[in-house]
Amino acid sequence: MAVRPITIVGHKALHAPTKRVKEITDDTRALVEDMFETMEAANGVGLAANQVGVKQRIFVFDCPDDELGENRRGVVINPKLEKGRVPAGEADEENDNEGCLSVPGEHFPTARADWAKVTGTDLDGNEIVIEGHGFFARMLQHETDHLDGYLYLDRLTPTMRLESREAVKDRGWQYDGITKWDPTELKAEDV
């Protein structure tokens, strides 16, 4: 297992839809192990394959589920998302803040549906259905968005989108040529 570098906003891998996994191989299993290790090193709750530069439709998670009162951990291959209604208007700045390992150190209020469900397969090719509410539903939507080529910044209201662009610009990643960060060397807020 290895911790892989995490791509940063602006990297082309984050803005293109991923490809369906046709066959689960030893390489797929090794990728998933690396993704879990990378997510843990970065203190994340979810990680999509394209965040580590792999264009496959896979995400891993280790996320609190407030309804169950415990963390849920797993992998979803080729997820399909269903979700409830996303509230209109501005997101609640206290309760709807969202962050991303590919936008390290930043958080913005993001409107998401309170309920979400993904269907896909596990590493053994068995069909799985995972659903939840609140923060867990937010994670399911966030990770599936990654696999569809979207960042949470793309879901922000116009006001927040402008603020996020300024924050990304202030970080200077694109000007400094920084496209990845290594969670074994840095904390997200230090990138």
* Cα–Cα distance measured from residue 162 to residue 91, given in angstroms and rounded to the nearest whole number: 15
d(CA 170, CA 36): 30
142 is in an annotated binding site: yes
143, 166, 185, 189: the catalytic one is 143
How many Å apart are CA 40 and CA 159, to the nearest integer? 32
The Cα–Cα gap between 114 and 79 comes to 18
107 marked among binding-site residues: no
Give CA angle at 121 (119, 126), nearest 5°: 120
Nearest to 10 by CA among 164, 182, 187: 164
Q: Is 143 a catalytic residue?
A: yes
**Residue 68 host element (H or E):** none
Is 133 marked within a binding site?
A: no
Q: Please identify every residue annotated as catalytic.
A: 143
Q: Binding site for Fe cation, residues?
A: 100, 142, 146
Q: Binding site, residues?
A: 100, 142, 146
